[in-house]
Amino acid sequence: MKCLCESYESFLRLDELKHDRGICLSLAVFPNNAILRKRLIYWWMGEGLVRHEEEGERVFQELLDLELLIPHDKCPRWLATLKTLAVLQLGHWQVSPTHHIAVRDESFLKGLKTQKLLKYLSLRGISRITSLPDSIRELASLEILNLKACHNLETLPAAIASLKKLTHLDVSECYLLESLPTGLDKLTSLQILKGFIIRSSQKTPIRIWHLRSLKNLKRLSIHIGSEATIQGEEFEKLKESA
């Protein structure tokens, strides 16, 4: 508590807190610059400082508003300092229920735009990534993009079509992904494509026959949705280009 009240401004912010001062005492347990997780809320619940998780969320936000907690957003800045990064493995090497990675949001991906030399990027199995930023087009050297089992991924930006050196793209087990972006057929260096999506014609702007321009494609796996509409001639067109 002494550390929290060292300055007059800090003392004023503590007085603005609408909840039990015991919450501030719980913060005093941690050293300066400690990284706190939201599971701190369960401690407050156990001590009777908040009644339920939703109230704990509100208190956590109040502490952020009073600047008694500072958002931990150093990851984009950290990535921006790595000028010669070639390989970045942020996700799992293997996906299993005992190994779970979740992020608050995808804002940490903003730091990727400076990685002109990055060749390999894996976000495999990371939860709560709903989309990739358009700035992914800046990864001019990217050859391998592994998004397997990013279960919250809903969209891929059309900017992926700018990754002319991309040889491997894995979006398998991304079950919320409605379709792949148009322009995918422009990735003429692509050799491995896992998780190509076929749904209804309205939800699948890029069809299987569009891939016939990918002359270097060696391996293709397809996810067929329950409402998928497939015409036989689509595969015939693909066969004709083989």
Hey, what's the torsion of the CAs at 77, 79, 82, 84, to 10 degrees? Answer: -140
Residues 167 and 202 in one domain: yes
Q: Is residue 73 part of a domain?
A: no
Digit-coded pLDDT (tens) for 28-48: 788 776 777 778 888 888 888
Q: Tell me which residue range forms the domain holding 187.
A: 78-240
Give the pLDDT confidence score for residue 194 in this predicted structure: 96
For 208, counting Cβ atoms within 10 Å of its Cβ (0-12 exposed, 13-18 middle, 19+ buried), the class is middle
Res. 12 pLDDT band, cuts 50 70 90:
very low
Regarding whether 111 and 28 lie in a shared domain, the answer is no
- Read off the pLDDT of residues 83-115 as tens digits, 9 standing for 90 and up: 889 999 988 776 666 677 888 778 888 888 889
Classify residue 179: in a domain, yes or no: yes
In a domain, 1, yes or no: no
What is the chain's mean pLDDT, rounded?
81
**What pLDDT, on a 0 to 100 scale, did the predictor assign at position 75?**
56
Decide if pLDDT at 8 tops 50: no
Within this chain, do residues 113 and 197 fall inside the same structural domain, yes or no? yes
Q: Considering only residues 67 and 171, tell me which one the structure prediction assigns the higher pLDDT.
A: 171
In a domain, 72, yes or no: no
What pLDDT score does 212 carry? 87
Specify whether 143 is located in the same domain as 50.
Answer: no
What number is the average pLDDT over the span 224-228? 78
Q: Across residues 154-160, what is the average pLDDT?
A: 93
Q: How many domains does the chain have?
A: 2
CATH code for the domain in which residue 86 is found: 3.80.10.10
Per-residue confidence (pLDDT) for residue 16, from 0 to 100: 53
154 and 84 fall within a common domain: yes
Same domain for 83 and 167? yes
**Residue closest to 227 by CA, chosen among 198, 207, 205:** 198
Separation between Cα atoms, residue 3 and residue 5, nearest integer Å: 6
The verdict on 53 and 117 lying in the same domain is no
Q: Give the pLDDT of residue 24.
A: 74
Domain shared by 36 and 134, yes or no: no
**Percent over 90 (pLDDT), the chain:** 35
